[in-house]
Structure 1
Amino acid sequence: MPSAKRIEQATLSFLLTGIAPLDRKDAMLAICAALTADGHVEHSRRVFDFLLKESDRPDPEQMREAILQTHLFAGYPRALNALASFKEACKAASNPLSGEIKLRDTPLEGDDMALFRQRGGKLFAMLYANLAPKIDQVARDASPDLGDWAVAEGYGRVLARDILKPRQRSLCILAALMPLDVLPQLKGHVQGAVNLGHSAETLWKLYELIPKFFDHMPKSAKTAFEAVLGKQKISDADFDQEQKYRWS
């Protein structure tokens, strides 16, 4: 069951303050991914509307890409519903003063499987480092087809596209997996984010941000982050900020 909250514009703006070292635009992309994975179309549409009104928002094509890649983790139906909502939000955000938001209407790439396998394997190795062969073998033992598709289609065709940087995609993946209660995959991608250069502080900021958009967050989310990053230590400033949110 979807558990996304109904968020107001002022609340969204507040939640996007005080999140350094997490980049604000990267946080917006991650929010798009998390809400897509949850599947609550109405609440997702509201947040898409609000994000598009933010003066320092990411490029809409990047926002759409964050939604698109989530089909790998939450399924085609939820991604399609969110993409349709985002397109409508872009239409609503266009006006004579701000200009029209134009989204690409043709596929970015053709069907070059050799290229997809090559760049997918490279990205897979970047994420999982010395564990990459073992993780690949686990997938292929479960299903040789799924193992092959994961590298060629998932990492190669989708996640290696240059619309988003690998580090941005990594944050979006974490945000999408957090509400899905998939501990092994989330734990692996937290480690992958570290391997790509994200600091523990950045990842904890993401962990603190995303649950605020939901009525419920599985306990496995915190378990996964702690398994890789260790127990979280909250500063006095962060504690005060958290209390402001709780009672606002």
Structure 2
Amino acid sequence: MNTNSLKEKGIKTSQKIYGDKLEKLIFNVKKFSPELSEWLIIEGYGKVLSRVALSIKEREACIISVLSVQKFEEQLTSHLYGGLKNGLTVKLIKKLIANLSEIDCDSEKEFGLIVLNKISKRKK
């Protein structure tokens, strides 16, 4: 697949996740690294997140789990919104995060639930 095609796919996928916040994300990344902003769209969203094996909804569920374990609040917040935009419900996300205790990630579970509660309050 050529770079232009991957970029188009990356833009489409990232728009589904970030919606009207995509432009701000790209602007912020470009400020410190124009190359990274290009890489993010082509490689991260064009090659990886646009693959057909999983839907965006399924990918966002995986990403939410990983970001909860890593305790990356800003990225988790963005992907919680992305998950909600792509078919995950707050109830399903709570279950997903609660399952982290099954792998002895209790503090990570608490972290994820705290971040989810913050955005749930903002949406009301």
TM-score, length-scaled by structure 1: 0.46
Query: Unmatched 5+ residue regions in structure 2?
Result: none
1:164 maps to 2:62 = no
Q: Would the aligned equivalents of 1:117 and 1:156 in 2 still touch at CA under 8 Å?
A: yes
Q: 1:113 matched to which residue of 2?
A: 3
Query: Does the alignment pair 1:129 with 2:16?
Result: no
Distance 1:217 1:115 in 2: 41
C-alpha distance after superposition, 1:198-242 (max 9, x if no partner):
111111111111232124434542232112223xxxxxxxxxxxx
Residue aligning to 2:94: 204
Q: Deviations over 1:18-72 (max 9, x none)?
A: xxxxxxxxxxxxxxxxxxxxxxxxxxxxxxxxxxxxxxxxxxxxxxxxxxxxxxx
Contact 1:123–1:160 (Cα < 8 Å) also in 2: yes
From 180, 183, 188, the counterpart of 2:78:
188
Asked if the contact 2:17/2:85 (under 8 Å) is kept, the reply is: yes
In structure 2, what is the equivalent of residue 24 of structure 1? Answer: none
Aligned match of 2:112 in 207, 221, 240? 221
Contact 1:182–1:220 (Cα < 8 Å) also in 2: no
> Structure 1 residues 215, 198: CA separation in 2 closer, same or farther (over 3 Å shift)?
closer
Q: Following TM superposition, by how much is the alpha carbon of 1:166 offset from its aligned partner in structure 2, in angstroms?
A: 0.8
Q: Map 1:133-152 onto structure 2 (within 5 A).
A: 133-152=23-42
Indicate the structure (1 or 2) with the bigger Cα radius of gyration.
Answer: 1
User: Residue by residue, what CA displacement relative to the aligned partner does 1:92-123 show, whole Å, maximum 9, x if unpaired?
Assistant: xxxxxxxxxxxxxxxxxxx4211110010001
1:176 to 45, 63, 66: 66
Q: Structure 1 regions of 5+ residues with no counterpart? A: 1-110, 231-248
- 1:199 maps to a residue whose letter is T
Query: C-alpha separation between the residues in 2 aligned to 1:151 and 1:226?
Result: 29
How much does 1:176 deviate? 1.2
Report the Cα distance in structure 2 between the residues aligned to 1:191 and 1:210, rounded to whole angstroms.
20
CA distance in 2, matches of 1:141, 1:203: 32
1:153 aligns with 2:43: yes
8 Å CA contact retained: 1:127, 1:196: yes
Q: 1:215 to 1:197 in 2, by over 3 A?
A: closer
Which is helix-richer, 1 or 2? 2
Moved over 6 A (4+): none
